[in-house]
């Protein structure tokens, strides 16, 4: 079962270092107590994942990842942190039972996933993806996936209008 017949090519080395960066960022985010540190280390993970997307010939998705996650979501979370108060961080009583149960559950889930991945047989031959990735994605998006694209635009508009309407301060009754 544990025959990791890995060929140490350049691609594997790049994958390995980026994967280490991503996992280190995620694990540090779990261990930090200050919220700003958590956001920063998760931004590090998102950048490492963008590098992995480039490694997978998905350049356009990698740029979208940097723009959307490292740019928008991280800044949104930092604004959220600034607008709320975080004085009592790290002073709440620990909940060892809940944390142990959650850790056991997550490790079990990972074990099941790892076992399934090890036992699956994946195709070995790789067909090349188109070279001009962004152009191909644009053509697909506006021909074959035009209706889902319009639907997702409507969803995004509705969600942002809803967010503005939710967060708008209501008039004082008096």
Partner 1 sequence: MTMLASYLTLAAVLFCVGLYGVLTKRNAIVVLLCIELMLNAVNLNLIAFSKYGVTPSLTGQIFSLFTMTVAAAEAAVGMAVLIVWYRNRATVNVDEFDELRG
SS3 107: helix
Q: Enter the tokens of residue 83.
A: 């607008």
Nearer to partner 1, 5 or 174 (CB): 5
Distance of CA 167 to the CA centre of its chain: 25
Nearer to partner 1, 166 or 171 (CB): 166
Task: Decide: 94 and 102 in contact? Cβ < 8 Å.
Answer: no
Nearer to partner 1, 167 or 174 (CB): 167
Nearer to partner 1, 80 or 171 (CB): 80
Residues contacting 59, CB < 8 A, separation 6+? 53, 133, 134
> Rounded CA gap, 68 and 74, in Å?
9
Q: Enter the tokens of residue 77.
A: 């979370």
């Amino acid at each position: 079962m544990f025959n990791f017949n890995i060929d140490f090519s350049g691609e594997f080395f790049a994958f390995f270092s980026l994967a280490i960066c991503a996992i280190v960022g995620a694990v540090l985010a779990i261990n930090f107590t200050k919220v700003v540190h958590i956001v920063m280390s998760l931004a590090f993970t998102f950048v490492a994942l963008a590098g992995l997307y480039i490694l997978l010939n998905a350049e356009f998705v990698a740029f979208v990842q940097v723009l959307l996650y490292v740019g928008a979501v991280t800044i949104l979370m930092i604004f959220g942190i600034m607008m709320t108060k975080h004085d009592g961080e790290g002073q709440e009583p620990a909940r060892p039972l809940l944390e142990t149960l959650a850790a056991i559950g997550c490790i079990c889930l990972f074990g099941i996933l790892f076992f399934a991945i090890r036992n699956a047989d994946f195709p070995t031959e790789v067909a090349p993806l188109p070279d001009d990735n962004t152009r191909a994605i644009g053509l697909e998006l506006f021909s074959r996936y035009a209706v889902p694209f319009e639907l997702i635009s409507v969803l995004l508009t509705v969600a942002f209008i809803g967010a503005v309407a939710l967060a708008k301060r209501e008039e004082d009754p008096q």
